[in-house]
Amino acid sequence: MEYLKSLRGLDILHVPYKGLVGAQTDLIGGQVQLMFATFNSLLLLAKSGKIKMLAVTGAKRAELMPDVPTFSEQGLPEMENLFPWYAVLSPSNTPKDIQTKIYKDFSDVIQIDEVKKQLVDSGIFVRLSTSDQLRDIIKADLDRWKKLFQQANIPLN
């Protein structure tokens, strides 16, 4: 939300929540007018009609909710690369052959049709990346958030 606020100079009150459930409850109840959350965490509420998804990040629309436009389609291309991600990590001193085996085994499992379908059906979009690609994603995210935190005077605790 802070990122969107900074991109467009919006004056939106930040309401901090300790967890997703309280924020969802207040969104459904009308105590807050909008929120950002992961696609999969709001999918069931959107499909049931309790909330309306206004936009998704990423380069294309979500297959599970194809009527929801992307931010890019609505004139906010800066939001395209703003998405949550999951990663399998190991200590930096893990031998390269072990790293390679972990990557191969994980890649093999995540590409099993049944596993992939279960993830996609729950709103998690599978995209494998190399260690170098993940490093670039992490660096870009850290750079983006560090700049935003400085601009918005958000303390790093």
Is 39 a residue whose pLDDT tops 90?
Answer: no
Q: Is the pLDDT of residue 21 over 90?
A: yes
pLDDT for the residue 82: 84
Residues 1-80, CATH architecture:
3-Layer(aba) Sandwich (3.40)
In this prediction, residue 40 carries a pLDDT of 85
Determine the pLDDT at residue 59. Answer: 87
pLDDT tens sequence across 47-81: 999 999 999 998 889 888 899 999 999 999 999 88
- Residue 120 CB neighbours (<10 A): 15
Structural element, H or E, at residue 108 = helix 96-110
In this predicted structure, the answer to whether residue 157 has a pLDDT above a threshold of 80 is no
Which pLDDT score is estimated for 72? 94
Q: What is the torsional sign of CA 88, 127, 38, 150?
A: positive
Instruction: State the burial class of residue 113 (Cβ atoms within 10 Å of its Cβ: 0-12, 13-18, 19+).
Output: exposed
Write down the pTM of the prediction: 0.75
Contacts made by residues 104-109, CB under 8 angstroms, sequence distance 24+: none
* 81-97 tens-digit pLDDT: 888 888 999 999 999 99
Partners of 70 in beta bridges:
56
Please state the domain extents for the chain.
Answer: 1-80, 85-143
The pLDDT of 113-121, averaged and rounded, is 90
Cα Rg, the chain, nearest whole Å:
18
| pLDDT tens digit sequence for 136-150 | 999 999 998 899 888
Mean pLDDT, the chain, as a whole number?
Answer: 90
